[in-house]
Amino acid sequence: MGKPSEAKRQKLLARKKRKQQRKTRSTVVGPRTMSSSLWKKTTRDHPDVLQNIEFVLVNAYRELRGIDDLVVLQALQAAQRRVSPPDPLADEILDELGAIRALRSDVSDSVWRDCLAAVEDSVGNHSTCRPGATGYLDFVKRYVV
């Protein structure tokens, strides 16, 4: 047996590249997108829960140096997945979200997760989610007293 043909070699390289892209995609932090019908239902039926979550985020932005949209995104994703976020500031936000969640025993876990996802979508809509970006936080702070 000799060397693989050029076509077979190209096919193997393409497969390797796709595999690498899948691996990279799974580790990239980025906002997810929820269906528009679920987003509408969540924002219509649970504005109080959304306000609770946004209050925590804006309060952290006002009180802690170094909070940006990426940190907020990491905290929201960690809260939904019930894992520790990679950034210590995100972990502080996660603790505050946990405290608010404990006060909202009237809200089901499903509704809470949907609200976290809706806020995560809002972060993605108003920010590049790059380190230092504060587009979402600057937007939402105008609405949170």
Task: Check whether 24 has a pLDDT greater than 50.
Answer: no
Sequence-ordered alpha helix ranges (H) in the chain: 6-27, 36-45, 47-63, 69-81, 88-103, 109-126, 135-140
Q: What is the pLDDT of residue 7?
A: 81
Q: What is the pLDDT of residue 121?
A: 94
Model confidence over 42-54: pLDDT tens digits? 999 999 999 999 9
The Cα 141–Cα 63 span in angstroms is: 13
Buried b (16+ CB within 10 A) or exposed e, 61-88: beeeeebbbbbbbbbbbbbbeeeebebe
Q: What is the pLDDT of residue 26?
A: 33
Model confidence over 56-101: pLDDT tens digits? 999 999 999 999 999 999 999 999 999 999 999 999 999 999 999 9
Q: Nearest Cα to 137, choosing from 41, 69, 37, 63?
A: 69
Read off the pTM: 0.77
Cα-based distances in Å from 13 to 4, 8, 9: 12, 9, 6
Rounded to 10 deg, the angle between the 88-103 and 47-63 helix axes is 140
